[in-house]
Amino acid sequence: MSSPGEAELIHVFKGIPFTTRSSPELLKSLDNFDAREDDVLLVSYPKSGTHWLAGVITKLYTTQVTLTSPIEFGDISKLEELNKLSSKRIIPTHLDYNMLPPNFKNKKCKMIYISRNPKDTAVSMYHYYRDNPNLPTVDTWTAFFDLFLKGDVVCGSWFDHFLSWEEHKNDKNVLFLFYEDMKKDLPKIVHDISVFLDINISDHEIQDICKKSSFSEMKTNTEKENSDPNHTVCALTSNRKLIFRKGTVGDWKNHFTPKQNVKFEEIFNEKMKLSKMAKGIIY
Ligand code: A3P
């Protein structure tokens, strides 16, 4: 089978670019998804630390849990496949709040949202695009920078995504996290997650999870699991090296020109002027 041409890689649904790995039929039928009260949603804009958080959450449970690929990835049979899984399901998604299947909201499922300095997210996404044959070609960082600011990338605008979820940050069933806080004090965040998920855990167990969730441990271990599709949160690649790239805070400084930084901050300040969390997200 030949690989898809550039034009076939992306389609737009409700104004948001999706890869063709998310079939239009699946996206249309998401509203009918039958959520369960004990489902846990792991929500992120791409390249915000989804795999890291997934690693932590699955290690927190001592009972059987199934980590799925994102709900919006696949064809129409996806929802049926998820239906067949026994509980508890940990379901990742990159959907913005408005596109989330209403059943998750009605049943007050627990949702953990992870965000990251969008400058670092943009850089991480650039590398992901560059090295991933399932995404359109981007020739230069400068070209990608413009696409990112316009929201002309998979999953659309970072700003719209963040703002749609920020509105719900104080909902009882939502936990809002930042990548940078996980870097700064992972044991505290693991503790916060355990409280949110009603999991009793000792300090010793928290230390153990943190050790197993370090960048180097995850990178090494998941490279061994490379060939196992069950370990893939992201359905856009089976190449784990694309996911565990650098794992640092502030890599944007190695990519942004001073002019790009000014432009980014201007647009950030404009788009985020109604955000209560805007201060402190970028630096
Ligand atoms: P970089 O590209 O900046 O290295 P996602 O899982 O949402 O696709 O996000 C991927 C980003 O999270 C990548 O960022 C990756 O390196 C980083 N990451 C993954 N696991 C990590 C870990 N254990 N510790 C720190 N960063 C991690």
Q: What is the pLDDT of residue 236?
A: 73
Q: Which structure tokens are listed for 129? A: 């695009």
pLDDT top residue among 241 and 151: 151
Q: For residue 252, give the nearest of 152, 126, 94, 114 by alpha carbon.
A: 126
| Residue having the nearest C-alpha atom to atom 17 of ligand 1 | 247
Q: How does residue 193 score in pLDDT terms, banded at 50, 70 and 90?
A: very high
Give the distance from CA 221 to its chain's centroid. Answer: 20
Other beta carbons less than 10 A from residue 197's beta carbon: 16
Model confidence at 268: pLDDT above 80 = yes
Q: How does residue 229 score in pLDDT terms, banded at 50, 70 and 90?
A: very low
Q: Read off the pLDDT of each residue in 106-122 and give the average, rounded to a whole number.
A: 98
Q: How does residue 7 score in pLDDT terms, banded at 50, 70 and 90?
A: low
The domain spans of the chain are 9-271
Model confidence at 233: pLDDT above 50 = yes
Global pTM reads 0.95
Model confidence at 171: pLDDT above 80 = yes
| Identity of the amino acid at 87 | S
Q: What is the pLDDT of residue 237?
A: 72
What Å distances lie between residue 17 and 10, 151, 155, 258, CA to CA? 6, 9, 6, 29
pLDDT top residue among 64 and 97: 97
Q: Would you say the CB of residue 95 lies under 6 angstroms from ligand 1?
A: no
Q: What is the pLDDT of residue 2?
A: 40
Region for 126 from its dihedrals, namely left if φ exceeds 0, alpha if ψ lies in -120 to 50, beta otherwise:
alpha
Phi, psi for residue 257 in degrees, rounded to 5: -80, 160
Q: What percent of the chain has pLDDT over 70?
A: 93
Q: Read off the pLDDT of each residue in 249-261 and give the average, rounded to a whole number.
A: 98
Q: What stretch of H or E contains 192?
A: helix 186-196
Q: Read off the pLDDT of each residue in 8-33 and give the average, rounded to a whole number.
A: 94
Let me know if 94 is a catalytic residue.
Answer: yes
Would you tell me the crossing angle of helices 258-271 and 158-166 to the nearest 10 degrees? Answer: 40
Q: What is the pLDDT of residue 47?
A: 96
Q: Would you say the CB of residue 180 lies under 6 angstroms from ligand 1?
A: no
Q: What is d(CA 136, CA 25) in angstroms, rounded to the nearest whole number? A: 22
Q: Would you say the CB of residue 186 lies under 6 angstroms from ligand 1?
A: no
Q: Which of 190, 215, 216, 255 to mutate to test the pocket of ligand 1 (most atoms within 8 A of CB)?
A: 215
CB 186 within 8 A of CB 36: no
Q: In whole numbers, what is the pLDDT of the chain averaged over residues?
A: 92
| Identity of the amino acid at 78 | K
Q: Would you say the CB of residue 121 lies under 6 angstroms from ligand 1?
A: no
Active-site pick, 11, 51, 94, 127: 94
The CATH number assigned to the domain with range 9-271 reads 3.40.50.300
